[in-house]
Homo-oligomer: A and B are copies of this chain.
Amino acid sequence: MNSPLLPAGFTTSGTTCGIKDSGKPDLALFVSESAAAVAGVFATNRILGAPVIVSRERVPSETARAVIINSGNANACTGEQGLNDARQMTADVATGLDCDAADVLVCSTGIIGVTLPMDVITAGIPTAVDALETSTDAYKSAAAAMMTTDTFAKQISIDVQLSTGTIRIAGAAKGAAMIAPNMATMLAVVMTDATLSSAQCDEMLRYGVDRTFNCISVDGHMSTSDTVLLLANGASDTAPATDDDERKLRSAVQQVCEKLATDIIRDAEGAEHFVIVDVAGFDTCEAAFRIAKEISESALVKTAITGNDPNWGRITSAAGYAGIDFDTSFLSLKINDTEVFQAGTPVEYDESALSQQMSENREVRLLLELSGGPASGSESVRFWTSDLTQEYVRLNSEYTT
């Protein structure tokens, strides 16, 4: 996606107000020129960042105008002051846009337990408003200003042909560490110029997030501040008219979420492998999900992949402790396209060739399949994870979140 494009009626900016010692961009602003329907999905942690508490109260809504995001400070565990600061950020944006503060959403990411430097933020917001543009450059700047330890900006835009016309969906996200299902320290803003109600936004966003952001894991640590927002401003004057249109839109939202979520995994701290975990043949999605999650979060599976070791024992044993009552004798596993475990029994295969293949490719695919017995069925789940490297440990033992 070399030239991500904003949907009609959206402007963005990425500027530097001075939160980060590094002097890198730290303020991202996403604005709809007219009232937009909005839905949000948030961290379920009992310890929530102040911006999550404030934004959660403001969705769903039919009148959203903007999302202000700062990086470098998560405004979490900051008590009453933190809530006041989060609300102040939305008020500052509302002043600049001449709208109601309640129509501005706010996200923060970075260090926990330190109050925001509100002087530089309040001073910086008018600059962020002045910098708003519809250009690809402005969109790229906004995505870059969300970054913390990310090494590249994550964004995408796609056009969707509905029976009533063409609409665009675009999204930007940040990720890196503290990534686990049910939202982690990841933020994403998805925008569309389609005409949708907030209820439609909510349904499509949850459908997409369940299959993408909730199926990624770097380290199983759920953050305090995860937020995914979907804004629909209707600037294309195109609403879905048929069931097929709805399906196409839902699928496009999922596609945008999947691109952003997998980019987060591609950019996982210290990762050397991008791992696709498919779990198939279970009677419920929940069962497949729990197994995929255990495999994806096992330090032993992840370190084996780091070492290009097709260590199927670590993978099947992680499946075994997911709490699903299956019969091992119906279980099979492929690593990439090589069958290593079939019907509960190890398979003879060329281990050094498979290891070589793993060392030469960043992507590794695991396919665990159940073919009969208790808990078997036709449901499958795809999960994405990264390997666990010495560099991950170095980064997270030398850096204060």
Question: Which residue on B lies nearest to A180, using beta carbons?
Answer: B321
Determine whether A220 belongs to the interface, using a CB cutoff of 8 Å to chain B: yes
A78 to chain B: closest residue by CB:
B346
Return chain B residues, CB-CB under 8 Å to A96. Answer: none
Residues of chain A in range 59-100 having any CB-CB distance to chain B below 8 Å: 76-79
Contact with A393, one of B77, B78, B306 (Cβ below 8 angstroms): B306
Q: Mark A186-225, 1 if CB is under 8 A from B, else 0.
A: 0000000000000000000000000000000001111110
A3 within 8 Å of B (CB atoms): no
Is the beta-carbon distance between B321 and A222 smaller than 8 angstroms?
Answer: yes
A178, B313: Cα distance in complex, Å? 12
Q: Say whether A357 faces chain B, with CB atoms less than 8 Å apart.
A: no
Counting CB contacts under 8 A, is A182 at the interface? yes
Contact for A399 among B111, B307, B388, CB less than 8 A: B307
Q: Which stretch (A39-47, A139-147, A228-236) binds chain B? A: A39-47
Instruction: Indicate whether A47 sits within 8 Å of B183 (C-beta atoms), given known contacts A300-B177, A392-B393, A397-B304.
Output: no
Query: Which of A26-34, A157-165, A252-260, A324-332 sits within the interface?
Result: A324-332
**Which residue from chain B places its CB closest to the CB of A44 in the assembled complex?**
B321
Most buried by B among A182, A297, A311: A311
A351 CB-CB contact with B under 8 Å = yes
Q: What is the CA–CA distance of A399 and B355 in the complex, to the nearest angstrom?
A: 12
Indicate with 1 or 0, residue by residue over A295-306, a CB within 8 angstroms of chain B CB atoms: 001111101101
- Chain B residues near A378: list those with CB within 8 A: none
Q: Is A152 an interface residue (CB 8 A)?
A: no
Contact A319/B46 with A220-B298, A314-B401 known, Cβ cut-off 8 Å: yes
Beyond A317-B223, A319-B47, A321-B222, is A400–B307 a contact (Cβ under 8 Å)? yes
User: Which residues of A317-368 are within 8 A (CB) of B?
Assistant: 317-322, 324-326, 328, 341, 344-346, 351, 355
CA distance in complex: A346, B114 (Å): 8
Known A44-B321, A224-B320, A321-B46; judge A393-B313 contact (CB<8 A).
no
Given contacts A179-B300, A345-B79, contact A309 B400 (CB under 8 A): yes
Q: Does A247 contact B (CB under 8 A)?
A: no
Within the oligomer, what is the number of copies of this chain?
Answer: 2
Tell me if A183 and B314 are in contact (CB < 8 A).
yes
- A398 close to chain B: CB less than 8 A: yes
Q: B residues within 8 A CB of A351?
A: 401
Task: State the Cβ distance, A51 to closest chain B Cβ, in Å.
Answer: 15
CB distance from A131 to the nearest CB of B (A): 31
* Contact assessment for A47 and B320 in the assembled complex, using a CB-CB cutoff below 8 Å: yes
CB atoms of A317 and B220 under 8 A apart: no
- Are B300 and A183 interface neighbours, CB within 8 A? yes
Q: How far is the CA of A76 from the CA of B317 in the complex (A)?
A: 10
CB closest chain-B residue, reference A270:
B393
Given contacts A307-B399, A393-B393, contact A46 B344 (CB under 8 A): no
Q: Is B219 a contact partner of A300 (Cβ separation < 8 A)?
A: yes
Interface pairs A-B: 5 shortest CB-CB = A112-B313, A307-B397, A47-B320, A303-B396, A222-B321
Residues of A at under 8 Å CB distance from B? 44-48, 76-79, 111-114, 177-180, 182-183, 219-224, 297-301, 303-304, 306-314, 316-322, 324-326, 328, 341, 344-346, 351, 355, 387-390, 392-394, 396-401
For the complex with contacts A222-B321, A224-B313, A299-B388, 17 further pairs of A-B residues with Cβ separation under 8 Å are: A44-B321, A46-B320, A46-B324, A112-B313, A112-B314, A221-B301, A221-B318, A221-B321, A223-B317, A299-B392, A299-B396, A306-B397, A307-B400, A309-B400, A311-B400, A311-B401, A387-B397
